[in-house]
């Protein structure tokens, strides 16, 4: 069929889906209204999808996504000019820059935490994964491992303490 666009690469789809909460938080911080943020987020996703083949894998997806979102917020704001309370563009630009910096710091913290989890022993890694990724209860972990709930609680305490120490070592300027 002539004119049909190629499907975006799987890696692009992964990046887009894994950054949805970040995108929503960014747009919401600029608009302050959850309904408007959802609308602009949908518009942004549509633009990102249309431009998927323009994105160079390996470059900074987060920065590209936030820049597209910023322009979508600006377009949305132009449509809202009939409303009485609309922040001026300079203020919105300052908020956008601040939100981008926060997102970048959050991304770095996520990376650092992932690195520190990788440094834990296998038992602690498994406990962290089951408790926080899967949402397993202490009781269910204890039942499945044949250990007491208290021993699981103590092991998780030690795993979290090891993570805190690792983060402090790797990034001492970050408050835990």
Contacts of 127 (CB under 8 A, 6+ apart): 141, 152, 155, 156, 159
In a domain, 176, yes or no: yes
Mean of pLDDT values over 18-43: 90
Q: Is the pLDDT of residue 88 over 80?
A: no
Same domain flag for 103 and 144:
no
Same domain flag for 159 and 105:
no
Same domain flag for 81 and 136:
no
Q: Which of 80, 109, 138 is the last residue of a domain?
A: 109
Instruction: Please tell me the distance from the alpha carbon of residue 48 to that of residue 64, in angstroms, as a whole number.
Output: 9
Same domain flag for 3 and 81:
yes
Same domain flag for 71 and 147:
no
Instruction: Please tell me the distance from the alpha carbon of residue 153 to that of residue 164, in angstroms, as a whole number.
Output: 16
Q: Which of 109, 130, 155 is the last residue of a domain?
A: 109
- The pLDDT assigned to 134 comes to 84
In a domain, 114, yes or no: no
Range of the domain at 156: 120-176
Share of the chain above pLDDT 70, in %: 90
Mean of pLDDT values over 133-157: 91
- The pLDDT assigned to 116 comes to 92
Query: For residue 46, what is the enclosing H or E element?
Result: helix 34-50
Question: Based on the structure, what is the number of domains in the chain?
Answer: 2
Mean of pLDDT values over 28-44: 91
- The pLDDT assigned to 46 comes to 93
Same domain flag for 66 and 144:
no
- The pLDDT assigned to 140 comes to 92
Same domain flag for 58 and 132:
no
Average pLDDT, the chain: 85
Mean of pLDDT values over 110-130: 90
- The pLDDT assigned to 5 comes to 65
Q: Is the pLDDT of residue 4 over 80?
A: no
pLDDT band at 122 (very low <50, low <70, confident <90, very high): very high
Q: Is the pLDDT of residue 86 over 80?
A: no
Same domain flag for 43 and 79:
yes
With beta carbons less than 8 A apart as the criterion, state whether 77 and 60 touch: no
- The pLDDT assigned to 56 comes to 83
- The pLDDT assigned to 175 comes to 47
In a domain, 27, yes or no: yes
In a domain, 115, yes or no: no
Q: Which of 53, 79, 109 is the last residue of a domain?
A: 109
Same domain flag for 9 and 41:
yes
Instruction: Please tell me the distance from the alpha carbon of residue 100 to that of residue 44, in angstroms, as a whole number.
Output: 16
């Amino acid at each position: 069929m002539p004119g049909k666009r190629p499907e975006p690469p799987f890696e692009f789809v992964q990046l887009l889906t894994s950054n949805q909460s970040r995108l929503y938080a960014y747009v919401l911080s600029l608009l302050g209204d959850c309904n408007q943020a959802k609308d602009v987020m949908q518009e942004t996703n549509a633009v990102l999808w249309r431009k998927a083949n323009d994105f160079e894998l390996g470059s900074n997806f987060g920065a590209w996504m936030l820049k597209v979102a910023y322009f979508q917020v600006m377009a949305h704001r132009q449509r809202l000019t009939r409303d009485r309370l609309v922040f001026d563009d300079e203020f919105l630009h300052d908020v956008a820059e601040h939100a981008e910096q926060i997102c970048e710091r959050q991304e770095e913290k996520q990376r650092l935490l992932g690195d520190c989890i990788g440094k834990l022993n296998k038992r602690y890694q498994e406990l962290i994964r089951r408790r926080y990724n899967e949402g397993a209860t202490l009781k269910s972990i204890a039942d499945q491992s044949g250990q007491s709930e208290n021993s699981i609680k103590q092991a998780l305490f030690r795993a979290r303490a090891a993570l805190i120490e690792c983060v402090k070592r790797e990034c001492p300027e970050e408050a835990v």
